[in-house]
Amino acid sequence: MTWIIRAPVEKGKRQYTLETGNKQPDWAPIKALKNDGKLVIKTSDKELLCYHFEPVFPPEGIDQVYHRSAFIHPLNTPEGKVLTRIQPPGHYHHYGVWNAWTHVLFEGDTLDFWNLIKKEGTVRFAGFNFINEGPVYSEYEAVHEHVVLKGGKEKVALNEIQHIKVFYPNTEYYFIDITSQFTCAANEPFRILEYRYAGLGWRATAEWDRTNSSLFTSEGKTRNEADGSLARWFVLQGKLGDTHGGMVMMSHPLNYNHPEPIRVWPDSAEKRGEIFVNYSPTKNKDWVMEPGKTYTLRYRLVVFDGSFDPEKANSGWKYYANPEKLVDINIP
């Protein structure tokens, strides 16, 4: 059961009464619409995000091995400002908000599912388990296959069930909860080796550079200090046209290697300081996934217009990490 508390409330216990009835909310529901290989999540006339379930190919003249499905772009603020970028020159394997593992030991071979140009592995969409929409949130659950390509043959090494839940926005922000469940697809372990980047990544809008954006973490690190540091959350924000906006990325305390290391490009990246950030649980240690077991990673994205400060971000993470609980339900 999920509902929205719209007004600020004081800390403590509260009592709610559930009543049957047919009253409809006074706002438009969040819709989930399939169109042209994409699943669009929107409310009224505002598109919040677009999930690509059909492959997207790189520009003409670029090696077509860079094609990829199973990613989010664009990801927009409540006012429609774009926060993501795909296929930037020099990094055609960057796809908005996406995930892959970079350095993997599988069946005696080391493989890269991130850098597509190596032609060793990729991640692809394999189907929807469900798509739901409603007045409080819209959600979908997609099956992703982590596929070995090496040797001219394909073999699925890892299965992923990715559940995305997008909550109804207010005028300033909205939440996206991402839950990925991983299981081995073969009778061999999937050993993710320590590497400087891997996991859930965000290639930020081309509009941002070192002059008009900023990053800070839960531990007080700024952009040039953050790479390799541990973070419960981090905020990336900046100028978007004539306004401002950004996103908070939050790691759940039950995640592997929490608080997780992060990968952050320095402000010298790509000459003008373009931005890529990444929660990378294997940045400082291996992670062995064994057959017959399920491994889960959870993240919350808080997408906003305007700006976020550390106090607001930390309060939001505490609510995510320790949500309110129903402790007593009386049904007459």
Confirm whether 206 is domain-assigned. Answer: yes
Confirm whether 170 is domain-assigned. Answer: yes
pLDDT of residue 323: 87
pLDDT of residue 251: 99
pLDDT of residue 15: 75
Write the CA distances from 202 to 76, 222, 299, integer angstroms.
13, 17, 13
Confirm whether 156 is domain-assigned. Answer: yes
Instruction: Decide: 313 and 190 in contact? Cβ < 8 Å.
Output: no
* Domain range for 129: 30-321
Q: Which of 5, 48, 16, 1 is nearest to 29 (CA)?
A: 48
**Rounded to 5°, angle at Cα 289 from 286 and 291:** 155
pLDDT of residue 129: 99
pLDDT of residue 252: 99
pTM of the model as a whole: 0.95
Instruction: Decide: 74 and 50 in contact? Cβ < 8 Å.
Output: yes
For residue 151, the domain's CATH number is: 2.70.98
DSSP structure string for 29-87? PEEEEEETTEEEEEETTEEEEEEE-S-BPPPTTS-GGG-B-SEEEEEB-TT--B-B-BS
- Within 13 Å, how many C-alpha atoms sit on residue 5's CB side? 9
Confirm whether 2 is domain-assigned. Answer: no
pLDDT of residue 296: 99
Confirm whether 10 is domain-assigned. Answer: no
Confirm whether 92 is domain-assigned. Answer: yes
Q: Which residues of the chain have pLDDT under 50?
A: none
pLDDT of residue 28: 76
Confirm whether 44 is domain-assigned. Answer: yes
Each residue's pLDDT tens digit, 144-190: 999 999 888 999 999 999 999 999 888 899 999 999 999 999 999 99
Neighbours of 13 (CB within 10 A): 7
Number of folded domains that form the chain: 1
Confirm whether 7 is domain-assigned. Answer: no
Distance CA 24, CA 18 (A): 15
pLDDT of residue 225: 98
